[in-house]
Structure 1
């Protein structure tokens, strides 16, 4: 599922005009009129004003204006001052003497008046009904009533409601009409698979050279202690191995002239992360290697080159001093200088992939969100960035069509190749008849629209239990399928756990025996589960819906579809769910009453999960990456622990402790109600990576369940794709 971003352009398609005090702002003509005078706004001033209207319920910082309106890496303070002065001047007249823009000292700006919005009558353009999302002011709105809710042409809103309703309607309408008119039917393609390596072990990070003469990949055999870098000549089949004692080597980019850029990660070195280069065009396999520069951290980099290898665009970590947050950086390898070309928000999870167009003029960037990915296109220097689409699944890599008119990528959730026209934003899909792209962790190199190199799934996930007084996780369930998650019953020592991805099964472990409850569940891609406190019902959820079952009969008794992408859910009270869902890149936590079918907002700006413990304490991760506890009776909030924007951050909570990991290998424990908040290390998983942490609801040992990812042998394949119909 994809949707086009709701920005100033799409805003203008749904709003006729806005009333600000005595001013009428025409969105179409970008003019202000108070009945006596009319003023045409410059594009920048209009953009700033529209941004204030779209976010009128809060204070806008100067940095946010730089990021979201100027869309530049750096904006001089004087430039912002001049623009704000021009905007204030434009908003003053004989009729409108009071200031419309309010300054908050050392904080930012906000609107001092409540906008009145007149909408274009979308009912005449599209007959599909759209249900607005529940807002803070409509804390107990019935779902059926929301479906029939109609907005009159002119309504006055409280600030908190205006933003929610405008974007719920605008985004839903635009997404519905866009998807209906701009998506082509899926058509199958023929896939030919060729095995590229017979070595037994783990292959990752395949990368074909731009000349297609060399294939680089990282490999570790069963007897190896570290990953080595292999370079294979695709014509002679000659192969070279690069290795460094104790270090891991990964290919990250090729130049047009067969220069390979690779990353060296050595935890024992003074500089753990380094970028190197080898010019294979000189002496082939026997070429010399040279170190280029030191990089930050140990995360795997992604990069691309232009200007015959003189320019390197790569993912640079420690963006805004957050270790695991990355942006894209442009590095001049001749001058050894660099500058930043992308600016993700701290509330986002960073820019992790960049691809330069064939012309060398444009770049495509992948930006990780709490749920899914944004795809952006910009000039090579980062100027004029625009979001072209947002999808609710993970995208491993992206490529440009030969003529640079389209972007294409692999949707592993739908096992399909997706193509997006840059100009029309038209999407097309082609299903792939292959199982090679399935699994949790694979390596993907999109060589072109008809060729990809795949390092098949090299990760197996298994369930472990952890008693914190023993420090070492114990094997709970290990099969040849993916163990997803577990949830304990509250009133007896029984555990329900989910196995598999495409073909899922639900199991129950009780009194030393195991019973399969559901075999070959429908293809719903369940990711979350929870059990009611009285154990009478349990729920399974994917990104779109929550399915409620009777625990004894296993009968489906209810299905809930929140008006947004589900980030997580839990079951704190017998008749109440706690659901976190995302609308327009903002996730809030809601109580959902199973009897009345009504939502009540309890926390805004929630990253992922929220949990209720001890009856009245809400715990969640906020957009500043702080774990917060909130008293549901008084509303009082306290930061329990400050964390980083780590891509591998996981956490859970029980009645006494919060458990978390930032590196996916070390588990820490911090008291929930101790003022000292002393952090204690309780487990280390070594080479196994923590995918999920789950607290045991029964209050008994083990306190935690861990879903751990372990490496397994895989294959290195070439996939040749023959399309039965053109992509565009």
Structure 2
């Protein structure tokens, strides 16, 4: 039965022996009062509203977390914490019932009581969750005194909007061929002989900050601010500097200045009085804690919103935090998934104050809106590629971003709470793209170049495949000194075979959709993936030997004799899973390893798996069992920064963004560095075949400029 009419302002609900106070977000059994943190309050009220039926994990993920993927452990923890909160001497029994493989249901009886009938207990003991206390204190300076009738009207409007637009919009729907086309003309507004990076706009879009790295002094950067009205540039600071963000009014710029080139010792500064030759600079309080690093810092009124890494102990996983400068309280306001790099602040909106951020998951990016304390979280849009930058237009009351992959301006109306039709607007390849409006884009031209290096493990020499007109990636070193690689142009692939310093285009044999993801040790078999289909190909004529339908996104694969190990993202749960296939039969084994990220063959039957666990796992493909792989500290310390790995018959190779290590498989001791990337180069993938290691990487050191694109002649 529905209990939605209980959940109104000023009402109280009897949940078993507990009295739930909607206004205070607290429960009381007459002796003990407990204030629920926002997540537990939301979870409990959802169970109340859906009393009498079983609620699945997917439904909880969609409606409570409002995410396409939620780690099972996060749901388990939340249910466990809610059960603890609902347990007392007066209420000792079961509160939330588990239905095996189905979900959960509320096990306590419900009834409502009028507010005037409630007698507050005397000398009440309190048991307040610290995070709830932080959230309560953090939001105090944000509240304003409204008349009661205005509050009621606002609640009605918000409830109606949430009900009407509860389903998140998806940018994929913007791929319609009927999308408007906008002709934009580019004008260079800043060019120096160097690298433009870290472009940031304040919410009012009146200024632009960026770092400029001089071509001759690549370890030194200059921090500039440009007045976008007169396009005058002002030098803010020099050295090892990087911008962090803006104040909400655009009058103060926040940045790091570091004393060494590896950015291990940095101080946070703010600069004001920016449109003058007398810029004022002031040292600020640092928000780095226990080795974590703040990579974004913005202020909205008296609330600082910043991004910190090492969430849940994972180096590359970032969450957003809020700091109240008046109460000195800090609160984590986002809960990213472990299968991705986490949350990235995009912009803020005033009246009321809200933040817009991007959440990166495996296979997709999502745009969210939330209050400054993380409450009222709403997913606005999803995209198959990173967004990185978005702005708010007061004129159209909409959020605007640019999808560089399909060259379209996307927008979300905050008036109608709907995704608007995308506008096709081709521009130059870009590093950063900030929409100033739906007809104007500010960009820094692309400084990325994709390349491949082949490391000879016997001589430890590296040979690069760089060519002027290609962007090489996904390389595999084959036997007989041949190298396969692909290049991407938009959504289409081209395939190449390099031998004897000659390039042979083999796209006509493989097509523009297939992606070669692995090869066997003898280079006689290739593994390809496209359109949810996995295929074993003959390396001589590229004919199909065997194929499997994989209704999911394949992220990683490795071949060993007649076995194929695949990591894919489950389309339903959005969780990573490990699957074993056999090229000689139709056997298929799916492991229950939690969130596998990469893998490598340990021997003919066992795999080393890098999962979310603190230790590596060893997986037996014959018994479908796994256990922790004991490794020395110097290997364990590499794991949090690990992005991929590979192995041949004798050696395991571990790759971070900047370095490749090797470890002997028979000892699993003493990792040694075999290759380091140059500054501004970052590893994307590695593949090993016998004594050759192929390293695919991206270089971010090409000279670029800042351009302003504006409307020329629109066509509809």
Same fold (TM over 0.5): yes
User: Given that residues 324 and 330 in structure 2 are in contact (C-alpha distance below 8 angstroms), is that contact kept between their aligned partners in structure 1?
Assistant: yes
Report how far residue 650 of structure 1 moved. 3.0
Matched, 1:498 2:500: no
Alignment map for 1:383-394 (pairs within 5 Å): 383-394=375-386
Q: In the alignment, which residue of structure 2 is the partner of 1:141?
A: none
Out of 521, 535, 538, the position equivalent to 2:526 is 538
- Residue 222 of structure 1 pairs with residue 228 of structure 2: no
Task: Mark the CA change 1:428 to 1:567 in structure 2 (over 3 Å): closer, same or farther.
Answer: farther
Report the 3-state secondary structure (helix = DSSP H, G, I; strand = E; otherwise coil) of the residue aligned with 1:330. Answer: strand
Contact 2:370/2:378 (<8 A) preserved: yes
Deviations, residues 549-569 of structure 1 (Å, cap 9, x unaligned):
543334577776521222123
1:637 aligns with 2:627: yes
Give the match for residue 105 of structure 1.
Answer: none
Match of 2:248 in 1: 255
Q: Tell me, what secondary structure is at the counterpart of 2:589?
A: strand
* Partner SS, residue 43 of structure 1: helix
Cα deviation digits, residues 403-425 of structure 1 (max 9, x gap): 78644322222221223456655
In structure 1, distance between residues paired with 2:262 and 2:100: 58
Matched, 1:462 2:462: no
Aligned to 1:486: 475
Equivalent pair of 1:349/1:369 in contact (CA under 8 Å): yes
Q: Distance in 2 between matches of 1:623 and 1:429?
A: 37
Root mean square deviation of aligned Cα? 4.4
Q: Is 1:81 aligned with 2:71?
A: no
**After the TM superposition, which residues 125-274 of structure 1 pair with which residues of structure 2 at under 5 Å, given as runs?**
185-225=178-218, 226-245=220-239, 247-250=240-243, 252-267=245-260, 272-274=265-267
Give the direction of change, closer, same or farther, for the CA distance of 1:625–1:51 in structure 2 (3 Å limit).
Answer: farther
Residue 243 of structure 1 aligns to a residue whose secondary structure is strand
User: Contact conserved, 1:393 with 1:411, CA < 8 A, in 2?
Assistant: yes
Q: Indicate the residue corresponding to 2:304 in structure 1.
A: 312
How far 1:351 moved relative to its partner?
1.3
CA shift digits 1:43-91 (9 cap, x unpaired): 25448998974289xxxxxx989965998xxx996x6523357998896
Aligned to 1:379: 371
Q: Which residues in structure 2 correspond to 1:287-326 (within 5 Å)?
A: 287-296=279-288, 301-307=295-301, 310-326=302-318
**Where does residue 696 of structure 1 map in the other structure?**
688
Residues 69, 629 of structure 1: alpha-carbon distance in 2 compared, 3 angstrom cutoff? closer
Give unpaired runs (5+ residues) of structure 2. Answer: 5-42, 60-69, 105-165
The 8 Å contact of residues 410 and 421 in structure 2, kept in 1 or not, is answered as yes
Partner of 1:684: 676
Greater Cα offset, 529-538 or 79-88: 79-88
Deviation of 1:259 after TM superposition, in Å, equals 1.9
Partner of 2:356: 364
Q: Secondary structure at the match of 2:618?
A: strand
Partner residue, 2:590: 601
Listed as ranges, the matches of 1:61-72 within 5 Å are: 68=75
Q: Is the 8 A contact 1:227 1:248 kept in 2?
A: yes
Quick check: 1:720 aligned with 2:714? Answer: no
Name the counterpart of 1:658. Answer: 652
TM norm structure 1: 0.70
Structure 2: distance between partners of 1:369 and 1:625: 20
Report SS of the residue matched to 2:238.
coil
TM-score by length of 2: 0.71
> How big is the shift at 1:258?
2.4
For structure 1, the 5+ residue unaligned runs are: 1-8, 10-40, 57-62, 93-99, 102-110, 118-173
Cα separation, 2, equivalents of 1:330 and 1:216: 23
The separation in 2 between residues aligned to 1:496 and 1:337, in whole angstroms, is: 54
User: Residue 128 of structure 1 corresponds to which residue in structure 2?
Assistant: none
Q: Which moved more, 1:444-453 or 1:418-427?
A: 418-427
Q: Aligned runs of 1:429-448 on 2, under 5 Å?
A: 429-437=422-430, 442-448=431-437
- C-alpha distance in 2, partners of 1:538/1:613? 20
Q: Secondary structure at the match of 1:610?
A: strand
8 Å contact kept, 1:453–1:718: yes
Alpha-carbon contact 1:450-1:720 (below 8 Å) kept: yes
Residues 520/723 of structure 1: CA separation in 2 closer, same or farther (3 Å cut): farther
Q: In 1, are the aligned partners of 2:247 and 2:300 still within 8 Å (CA)?
A: no
Q: Is 284-293 or 577-586 further displaced after alignment? A: 577-586
Contact 1:349 / 1:645 at 8 angstroms: preserved in 2? no
Deviating more after overlay: 604-613 vs 711-720: 604-613
Residue in structure 1 matching 2:570, options 567, 578, 582: 582
- Relative distance call for 1:420 and 1:295 in structure 2 (3 A) is same
Change beyond 3 A, Cα 1:55–1:431? closer
| Contact 1:627 1:643 (C-alpha < 8 Å) held by counterparts | no
CA–CA distance in 2 between the matches of 1:260 and 1:338?
Answer: 21
Which region of structure 1 is more displaced relative to structure 2, 554-563 or 332-341? 554-563
Q: Is the 8 A contact 2:246 2:297 kept in 1?
A: yes
**Structure 1 residue matching 2:285: 3-state secondary structure:** strand
Closer, same or farther in 2 for the Cα pair 1:636/1:306, shift >3 Å?
closer
For residues 42 and 638 of structure 1, the distance between their equivalents in structure 2, rounded to whole angstroms, comes to 36
Aligned residues: 592
Residues 661-720 of structure 1: CA deviation (Å, up to 9, x unaligned): 33x212222333425x322222222315232342322x1x23453435251111211123
Q: Write the distance in 2 (CA, Å) between the matches of 1:468 and 1:341.
A: 46
Partner Cα distance (2:688, 2:474) in 1 = 12
> Bigger CA drift: 413-422 or 194-203?
413-422
Superposition map of 1:499-518 within 5 A: 499-502=487-490, 504-510=493-499, 513-518=502-507
Residues in 2 aligned to 1:625 and 1:446: alpha-carbon distance in whole angstroms: 41
Quickly say closer, same or farther: Cα 1:542–1:687, change in 2 above 3 A: farther
CA deviation string 1:493-535 (max 9, x = no partner): 43212234436432223455543322798654x6652235564
Match of 2:319 in 1: 327
